[in-house]
Structure 1
Amino acid sequence: MKPLKIIKIGGNIIDNQKALASFLKQFAQLDGPKVLVHGGGKLASKLAAQMNVPVKMHEGRRITDVKTLDIITMVYAGKINKSIVAQLQAHNCNAIGFSGADGNTITSEKRPIKTVDFGFVGDIKSVNTNILETLLKEQITPVFCAITHNSSGQLLNTNADTIASELAIGFAKSYETELYYCFEKNGVLQDVSDDDSVIELITSEAYQTLLSEGIIADGMLPKLTNCFHAIENQVSKVCIGKPEMLFQSNTSFTTIQK
């Protein structure tokens, strides 16, 4: 059996209709079992502005109050998720959209208040892949948005990178699993101002050196935390780079290894 690919796409693809259409056409043609995880892009913030709901952020992370949760549920689980599923169907890739509540696939708990109250944000507690594995055997592709639930009727906004990592770990019990983070850069960069300075391989030891030298910082920190969390929990391969790494053999990207 071919490895199961868990592929996460971010706002740079979601926000660009042409880029999204191109990606989904190529994604549909990928051979073997696959799962797509998507973020929300800028559409939720745009809709919030139209509805006069303030967008509150802390260190790049969205604070999710009741009104904001309503908006991101409409946008993530509705508009974006169903549009992606429809486009995949147009390319003969049979897909079903998921939040963590669907099929009881991902349960979370509301993030505890420490220095900041993030509101209705979920930290993942468990992943149930039983239904998803049944779908994969029928060659149906799950498409996950960044929303989970707490088993008591409450939806929770959840980091899409974390959802991808935890899904990969959950599937690793049954599949050889590969995790791909697609974003706007060629990979993890030695110099953030030089797009060609891709670090092609990062081991656990090299990661500590890069941290101490300040080469890895800011938004890349949580992404790499998810990468190493996956590698340390039986995920066979983790890669970071532009979507082209999935479709072209001569593309530079970053591979994470123990």
Structure 2
Amino acid sequence: MDRLTIIKVGGKVVENPDSLNALLDQFTRISGNKILVHGGGRTATDIAAKLGIETEMVDGRRITGKEMLDVVTMVYGGLVNKKIVAGLQARGCNAIGLTGADLNLISARKRPVAEIDYGFVGDVIDVNSRELRMMINENVVPVVAPLTHDEKGQLLNTNADTIAAELATELSDYFSVYLFYCFEKTGVLLDPEDNSSVIHELDMQLFLQYQNEGVIHAGMIPKLDNGFRAKRNGVKEVLITNPENMADGRGTRLI
């Protein structure tokens, strides 16, 4: 099967123009089929604050009320997505910006209320990859924002790490998929303040141990949950890394 590289980019990389440009330079150099999935949570938080809308997070996941849904729709589907698309076009990479609603790409259901009411947060129920594969085969590069829909007209905020894992899993039936979670750190770290403390290989048992010990916490938990699920479901390789180390495959490899 042909190789497909899926890069999920988030954290400070998206918000900082210099780091975003470095990422887009690296992404453009990747040969063959590729998809870019992006977050933009920090920008959404900043803009929400300017609008007087409070941000609530639980274990790295955003509580999305009606007002916050409007903000993330504008930021993810508009501001961040189109900046990335324009940056790729400037580099000769023919990109198209998409949300899960476009082409009915990713449908989801509103997360049911249990101990926590996450609001308008979507849990993915289906990925429709047909048109996506057609674009990839025509050398068009999809840039996917972390928004889904319920097929009844309701947009839903969905974790970008989940979007990347779901796309990677679905497309692994058609491609040899390599999934890279790319952010500002060199990988999963034993000490968040020490970039040299990279855990080079991580299995599920060690992940659970570090999670219980508080070494791995907050937004890294859903990232790794999604990464391990993708690995179990046919994705060839999952790597947590930064733009500088992406090309030579350094970082934390899930095994």
TM-score by length of 1: 0.92
Q: Which residue of 1 aligns with 2:233?
A: 233
Cross-structure match for 2:58: 58
Question: What is residue 151 of structure 2 aligned with on the other side?
Answer: 151
1:1-258 equivalence runs, <5 A: 2-211=2-211, 213-247=213-247, 249=248, 252-257=250-255
Q: Match for 2:57: what amino acid?
A: M
Contact preservation (8 Å) 1:8, 1:161: yes
The alpha-carbon distance between structure 1 residues 94 and 207, as it changes in their structure 2 partners (threshold 3 A), is same
Residues 60, 220 of structure 2: 8 Å contact kept: no
Residue-pair matches, total: 255
**Partner secondary structure for residue 42 of structure 1:** helix
Q: Is the 8 A contact 2:107 2:150 kept in 1?
A: yes
Task: Work out whether residues 191 and 215 of structure 1, in 8 Å CA contact, stay in contact via their aligned partners in 2.
Answer: yes
Q: Distance in 2 between matches of 1:214 and 1:195?
A: 18
How far off its partner does 1:21 sit? Answer: 1.5
Cα-to-partner distance string for 1:32-52 (whole Å, 9 max, x where unaligned):
100000001322222222322
Q: For residues 45 and 209 of structure 2, what CA distance do their matches in structure 1 show?
A: 37
Equivalent position amino acid for 2:141 in 1: T
* TM-fit CA distance, 1:213: 4.9
Q: RCO higher in 1 or 2 (8 Å CA, sep ≥ 6)?
A: 2
Q: Any unmatched runs of 5+ in structure 1?
A: none
Contact 2:59/2:219 (<8 A) preserved:
no
Q: Distance in 2 between matches of 1:166 and 1:152?
A: 21
Asked if the contact 1:100/1:149 (under 8 Å) is kept, the reply is yes
Q: Which amino acid aligns with 1:76?
A: Y
C-alpha RMSD of matched pairs (Å):
1.7
CA contact (8 A) 2:60 2:222 kept: no
How far apart, CA to CA, are the structure 2 residues paired with 1:44 and 1:165? 22
Q: Which moved more, 1:151-160 or 1:206-215?
A: 206-215
Q: Residues of 2 paired with 1:49 and 1:222: CA distance?
A: 24
2:80 & 2:96 partners in 1: Cα distance?
Answer: 13
Quick one: structure 1 residues 220 and 48, their matched pair in 2 at CA, closer, same or farther if it must change by over 3 Å?
Answer: closer
CA distance in 2: counterparts of 1:130 and 1:209, whole angstroms: 39
Q: Distance in 2 between matches of 1:202 and 1:56?
A: 30
Alpha-carbon separation, structure 1, partners of 2:201 and 2:49: 41
- Give me the TM-score of the superposition, normalised by structure 2: 0.93
Residues of 2 paired with 1:69 and 1:235: CA distance?
31
Instruction: Give the AA of the match of 2:254.
Output: I
Q: Distance in 2 between matches of 1:208 and 1:138?
A: 41
**Conserved 8 A contact 2:186-2:242:** yes
Point out where structure 2 has 5 or more consecutive residues left out of the alignment.
none
Counterpart CA distance in 2 for 1:48 and 1:237 is 36
2:61–2:159 Cα contact (<8 Å) kept: no
Q: Partners in 2 of 1:64 and 1:40 — Cα distance?
A: 14
